[in-house]
Structure 1
Amino acid sequence: MSRISVRAVLVSLGGAAVIGGVAVAGMASATAPAQPAVDSASARFVAPSGDTRGAFTFAADVADDSGIEKLTVLAWPKASGLDVTAEEMERVEEDAVCERVDEEKSTCAYTLRITEREAAEMERGEWTVSALLTARDGGKRFVPEAATVTLDF
């Protein structure tokens, strides 16, 4: 799904899709798990103002004993009733940028800039960010509610 397709789907549910991140430093555990893990996930929204674009951000620490291939994220308004599944997340093409901490651990971040027009179309209230972590060995970890953020601007 392209960025435009993701937005089109969520706009029809009452909001624009936003996905994002800022880097989070370090990992909480000393060793990586045998199964993919998503930890310390957070989301934040900064509303646009004047000529300055806003941003919706998402960040997480991730780990797997085989290493990390990618972290896919999708944000959606909780009031929409959308119940994202792992299978649906497989079709989302919005991946965070991951920086390797070591062979097994990475910090991942994604930022999507938001215009005033896009923000005006977004549903106010609580938004949920779902995440799908894919490890190098093909292992996956789906976190349906990796983070939440409230849009109340």
Structure 2
Amino acid sequence: MSRRIALSVAAGVVVLGGAGAGAFALAYAGEQPPALADSAARYTAPDGGRDGSLTFATEVTASSGTKSVKVLAWPEKSSLGEKGLTEKDMAAAEPAVCAPLGGDTVRCTYTVKVTAADAASSPRGAWQIAVLATAKDGTTTLDTTAADFTVR
């Protein structure tokens, strides 16, 4: 076998080996759970006959696409805080509305009106926002403390 053919074969093995590693990396990346970033909450108490609001926003990146994002606000001093929040607890949580940001990332927002009666019956103090993000491939991410706010 000539030296030229041997070099071509060796180069082909390197290229195919690199493609195989790339395919493995892409397959592995496809199985990653959704990632949350830039999560923030804003609570405005009702005032003088006007309703308040709770707004939460986060960015979710999922290589297979985002199927759903559920949001739950919960007081730190509660049974949820004591036992730890689970995905099962999030089944009845309310959905966020998501809009594409580009690539595999969406910006999700959850807003709820807070009436004077809601505020009066809510525990005072620190609250947490829990988020359950589900990708189209079925992988999930649960962040039980994605953001926080204070009810005074």
Superposed displacement of residue 81, structure 1: 3.6
Is 1:56 equivalent to 2:54 in the alignment? yes
- What's the CA shift string for 1:1-37, capped at 9, x where partnerless? xxxxxxxxxxxxxxxxxxxxxxxxxxxxxxx993310
Letter in 2 for 1:49: D
Secondary structure of 1:79's aligned partner: coil
Please say if 1:84 is aligned against 2:85. yes
Amino acid at match of 2:97: V
How far apart in 2 are the matches of 1:87 and 1:58? Answer: 21
Amino acid at match of 1:63: T
> Within 2, Cα distance between the matches of 1:87 and 1:117?
28
Show the counterpart of 2:101.
Answer: 101
Bigger mean CA offset, 121-130 vs 98-107: 98-107
Q: Please say if residues 41 and 149 of structure 2, whose CA atoms lie closer than 8 Å, have aligned partners that are also in contact.
A: yes
Displacement of 1:42 after TM fit?
A: 0.9
Percent sequence identity is 37
SS in 2 for 1:127: strand
Which aligned pairs between 1:14-93 and structure 2 lie closer than 5 A?
34-82=32-80, 83-89=84-90, 91-93=91-93
| Structure 2: runs of 5 or more not aligned | 1-29
TM-score for the superposition, normalised by structure 1 = 0.73
2: CA distance, partners of 1:118 / 1:48:
9
**Residue type at the aligned position of 2:88:** E
Partner-residue secondary structure (3-state), 2:92? coil
CA distance in 1: counterparts of 2:60 and 2:111, whole angstroms? 17
Partner of 1:28: none
Q: 2:50 aligns to what SS in structure 1? A: coil
Shift of 1:52: 1.3
d(CA) in 2 for partners of 1:119, 1:61: 28
Residues of 2 paired with 1:67 and 1:88: CA distance? Answer: 23
3-state SS of 1:117 partner: helix
Report deviation, 1:103: 4.2
The superposition leaves residues 67-118 of structure 1 with CA deviations (integer Å, 9 ceiling, x where unpaired) of: 11111010111011412111221x2240000001124110000100011111
Gaps in structure 1 of 5+ consecutive residues? 1-31
- Equivalent position SS for 1:101: strand
Describe the SS at the equivalent of 2:94. Answer: coil
TM-score of the superposition, structure 2-length normalised? 0.74
Do structure 1's residue 129 and structure 2's residue 129 form an aligned pair? yes
Secondary structure of 2:102's counterpart equals: coil
Once the 2 structures are TM-superposed, how far is the Cα of residue 143 of structure 1 from its aligned partner? 0.7
